[in-house]
Amino acid sequence: MSRILTALQPSGVLHIGNYFGAIEPMVNLQAAGNQNLLFMVDYHAITVTQDPAELRRNSLFAAATYLACGIDPEKTILFQQSRVSEHTELAWILNCLVRMGELERMTQYKDKALGKGESVSVGLFDYPVLMAADILLYDTEVVPVGDDQKQHVELARDLAERFNKKFGETFTIPKPEIRKQGARIMALDDPEKKMSKSAASEKNFISLMDDEKTVLKKIKAAVTDSEGTIRVSPSRPGITNLITILSLVTRRTTKEIETAYEGKGYGDFKTDLARELTAFLTPLQEKINRYLGSPTELLRILDNGAFRAKAIAEKKMIDVRKKIGVTL
């Protein structure tokens, strides 16, 4: 049995990339008898300006979405990062081991900080260390991530090995698990980039809450190319991305899709993709709204998850404090 950890920011917008890249794999892992932890990284969220009331709403929405997608709170510990103070305590200790150059090389930081100069917060620079603490605190063995996050898991591995070498065996060395298909669904408006809920344009992504009209509009506007055939190719990222999405929502192989659309154009393909996406999203949206209609139950589930997570975290931090010499 493995201990597996997944974390997502409570942004208020979860998209199909989040679903297929992180949530669905976690749901599937529940059946394998693993010990799973899933939490909303609200302290990561505040590395950029947040409205407090909106952050609270977004956290409840995220919890409702995870449950609607099939997360079972009996099999998966579901909680808020901020409810377990050991995350930030361990992050500070790891800060004293990490090197500035390691954080400066983080590609996500460089992308997000581009053009911001000295206005970039220390939190944004340092958030890979908090992510490492998130992982190591629970002796996580497997971290399902998109390939863009692999570098952060590697930093967690480096810090675990560094700590263990200096203070004695303490942390499990985690390994990233990249889902080959769906781990990185690309942006509809720029298929060279990852689908992102923080994108400037909503044409970038399909939200799990998009209605039929919105889905059709976004898919119709999705970038393809001038070739016009429904074929997967590394040189054709736009249509390849759309074929991947259709494959994921219909459970058909990309080869089956290519065969089905032989001789057909983008118009037919995009109309069918929008219809299949709507059919996939509608029952999910109904479940999300049912959970949002029961906030007391949502809070009960999160309270219980925080209690279970803190029991693990407290035990680990007792050991860490002894190892570094702060326990008298």
Query: Whats the size of the chain, residue-wise?
Result: 328
203 given a catalytic annotation: no
The amino acid present at 161, given as its one-letter code, is E
Contact at 8 Å (CB) between 58 and 7?
A: no
Contacts of 52 (CB under 8 A, 6+ apart): none
Q: Which residue has the tokens 């930030």?
A: 88
255 given a catalytic annotation: no
Catalytic residue among 194, 218, 270, 316: 194
Contacts of 298 (CB under 8 A, 6+ apart): 60, 63, 64, 67, 291, 292
Q: Is the dihedral of CA 83, 86, 88, 91 positive or negative?
A: negative
194 given a catalytic annotation: yes
Catalytic residue among 112, 150, 217, 287: 112
Nearest to 91, CA basis, from 31, 38, 155: 155
Catalytic residue among 75, 197, 217, 323: 197
Which residues form the catalytic set? 112, 194, 197
